[in-house]
Chain A
């Protein structure tokens, strides 16, 4: 697959452990945030989203936390599995036309 992971931060976790991936966003006026997962050779896939009027949102095995005071977003993955190995991107929405701005990404490696 395409090498998009050069120079990205890497998180290595043991299978079954919980993972926390962090993201600092840039614009205090952003009102919508999304986490994407990208596996090698594929396009990004939507994981979970959160609006700025919320602090926390839970999905299946994933939780997103939003701290607007420090402009920080985190993705928690419970009971991490080998299939969770991928690059994870946070994105924020700002401006007319529903445009998203993406962070650089974090590599998650799950050790069996």
Chain B
């Protein structure tokens, strides 16, 4: 989607290795989110950010950390990847909810942990 890019698009990594996924936006939106998507589970929130250096946990945050050192970048790190973290990861951005509308999602990163 225009204004939000995720990298890499695909990654295969070994169990126990650290992995960092990047989300970059050009919209200057305040809020950024990381979701994971697994068959039959919809999208589940991992972590989110409501400003530079302001982050909080979502419902499935164990094993993940995030950082947001500038408005445009939100990094998701798997400190020691496990097979249960094999998933498709989506980043999303949004402005405040006062204007309505929803999130804009990136195209996703497919991560395989072997």
Contacts and interface: CB of A to CB of B under 8 A. Distances in A.
B58 A99 contact: yes
B48 to A, nearest CB: 6
B60 interface: no
B88 interface: yes
Interface size class of B (residues with CB under 8 A): 20 to 34
B64 interface: no
Contact of B42 (A2, A43, A98, A103): A103
The main secondary structure of chain A at its interface with chain B is loop
A4 interface: yes
B43 A44 contact: yes
A44 B105 contact: yes
Interface in B36-90: 37-45, 48, 50, 56, 58, 88, 90
Interface string B94-108: 101100111111111
Interface string A52-67: 0000000000000000
B105 A89 contact: no
A36 B35 CA distance: 15
A97 B42 contact: no
Chain A to chain B: the 3 pairs with minimum beta-carbon distance, closest first: A43-B105, A6-B39, A7-B40
Interface of A: 2-8, 32, 34, 36, 41-46, 49, 51, 89, 91, 93, 97-105
